[in-house]
Amino acid sequence: MTSQVRVRFAPSPTGMLHIGGLRTALYNYLFAKKHNGIFILRIEDTDQNRYVDGAENDIITALKWAGMPYDEGPDAPGSYGPYRQSERSAIYQTYAAQLIGQGHAYYAFDTPEAIEAMRERLKSEVNKNPKYDAASRTQMTNSLTLSPEETRQRIESGSPYVIRLKTEPGEVVTFHDQIRGHVSFQTRELDDQVLMKSDGLPTYHLANVVDDHLMGVTHVIRGEEWLSSAPKHILLYRYLGWEAPVMAHLPLIMSPAGGKLSKRNAEELGIPVNVRDYISGGYDPEALVNFLAFLGWSPGDDREILSMKELIGAFRLEDVSKAGAVFNIDKLTWYNEQYLRSRSDEHLIPLLQQELELQNISGFNSAYLESVIGLMKERVSRPAEILEQGRFFFEAPSHYDEKALKKAWKAETPELLLEFLTAVEAMKSYHAAALKQALSDIVEQRGLGFGKLMLPARIAVTGMGGGPDLFETMELLGKDEVVGRIQKALNTL
């Protein structure tokens, strides 16, 4: 095949984009770019009951943040639009009519109660979940049981109806999945899928197949939860006389606690579910992308840190695993640390600024923030933690760590600290090396260990028992601030 690769990410705007959706988008993106192909964003919004305002925007923001620009989409016009299914309803009607004309679909007028009654009636030991299918459709109210005249009358008089696919029993639908290999389904397991709903809009199945065909999609790459829909799609391609695209169903994302990663169990484990939570949590987009790429795929060597460009170069659908991929948040934290440390201090300023704004802290210039980042970057895995662990850079400690005090605050401490305070106050040239020298002089004179004074000084200045280099920290805070903090500690402790 020489045709250009065209793939699509086709989310339904039924909520905020979740992390599994972003992985699906990523695999599509990597595959497209690997083959110099086209990456399409298609919004599958034909289910009006589940439509969530703002969801489309959220999807677009997430893809842009993650560095996966699409070539065609609602706000990136191409020659296959519109890219929002709600704007394509006339198209689906044409194909539904074609299927009816060819005898592959039919009108059904049954009320939900009538369908429920059929289920109750046909339920038995051998048929536990009766479906609307070849066996039951003969007992229902549809264009196969009514005369053409009655059917027309009902439609003209405005009776609500749906259009169903006429699935023939006793067939086997087979296809080759790029990831799962040979897949086969018995048609008797399928129901007569609703293709057009009573509101005149298509269901996912019809719209998806029609659009994949009309948009020239060559490869359908999507989550495993859609595998059971694939045979219906294959039948639709066959009945519409179209060649089906190559299918590739991605492995499920699993919870570390076992089972599929659901919104609920993710929350219980402290795993953010929505991409927007990673954005607001200050995660590095490249770290998240790198992590997600490895959730079900690996390059087959021992490389772990790969840029988007390298991922594109290495990605192959054949290397995607069939087995579910466990979401390991510690691994994501590790990735984030690697990327955080590789960023320049300057690059991280806006992220720290974002955290400060959230906490209503202001009045610090960029140069100051850059220095804080320089001192804290190696100690944290996310920018938010710079503030969590380095609040003392922005305000004097309001309390002192109990455990640290117990360990470090001894009878002789106030006297030592007072001596240090006097030395600091007298300092002409106030900087880290001088501070360190002053402190060493005091302890050496008395033949004490460094920690005997350094730890209390740290507690006085930061409120904590550990942290970044104390003397650099003191230099950054400035002489007046440090003097004030030591005085306060001496007065309160």
> Active-site positions?
263
DSSP state of 4: P
Shortest distance (Å) from residue 226 CB to ligand GLU = 5
Q: On the CB side of 441, how many CA atoms lie within 13 Å of its CA? A: 12
Query: Smaller CB distance to ligand GLU: residue 31 or 204?
Result: 204
Cβ proximity to ligand GLU: between 44 and 224 the closer is: 44
151 near ligand GLU, judged by CB under 6 A:
no
12 touches ligand GLU by CB under 6 A: yes
Residue 413 tokens read as 């401490």
Alpha carbons 254 and 322: distance in angstroms, whole number: 12
Tell me how far apart the alpha carbons of residues 400 and 232 are, in angstroms, rounded to a whole number.
65
Residue 280 CB, nearest approach to ligand GLU (Å)? 23
- Cα-Cα-Cα-Cα torsion 130, 131, 136, 142, nearest 10 degrees, comes to 150
Among 5, 6, 11, 355, contact with ligand GLU (rule: CB under 6 A): 11
Among 222, 232, 458, 485, binds ligand GLU (CB under 6 A): 222
Residue closer to ligand GLU (CB basis): 159 or 228: 228
If the CB atoms of residues 40 and 105 are measured against ligand GLU, the closer one turns out to be: 40
* The pairing of beta strand 325-326 with beta strand 253-254: parallel
Residue 205: what residue type?
H
At closest approach, how far in Å is the CB of 155 from ligand GLU? 29
List Cβ neighbours of 127 (8 Å cut-off, separation of 6 or more): none
Cβ 126 vs Cβ 160: under 8 Å: no
Query: By C-beta, is 9 or 278 nearer to ligand GLU?
Result: 9
Largest CA distance in the chain: 110
Q: How far apart are CA 446 and CA 451, in angstroms?
A: 13
Count, residues near ligand GLU per rule CB under 6 A: 8
Indicate whether 85 belongs to the interface with ligand GLU (CB under 6 A): no
In whole angstroms, the minimum distance from the beta carbon of 14 to ligand GLU comes to 7
Please select the residue that binds ligand GLU; options are 44, 56, 337, 475, rule is CB under 6 A: 44
Compare residues 217 and 386 and give the one whose CB is closer to ligand GLU. Answer: 217
**Where does this chain touch ligand GLU (CB under 6 A) — which range of 4-12, 56-64, 300-308, 382-390?**
4-12
Under rule CB under 6 A, residue 226 binds ligand GLU: yes
Does 208 bind ligand GLU (CB under 6 A)? Our answer is yes
Residue 488's alpha-carbon distances to 377, 389, 397, 485, in angstroms, are: 29, 21, 10, 5
Instruction: Name the DSSP class of 324.
Output: -
Shortest distance in whole angstroms from residue 157 CB to ligand GLU: 34
Of 5, 6, 7, 10, which lies in the binding site for ligand GLU, with binding defined by CB under 6 A? 10
Place of tokens 């969530």: 52
Tell me if 419 contacts ligand GLU by CB under 6 A: no
Q: Going edge to edge, which strands form the sheet with 162-165?
A: 105-108, 162-165, 194-196
Enumerate binding residues for ligand GLU (CB under 6 A).
10-12, 44, 204, 208, 222, 226
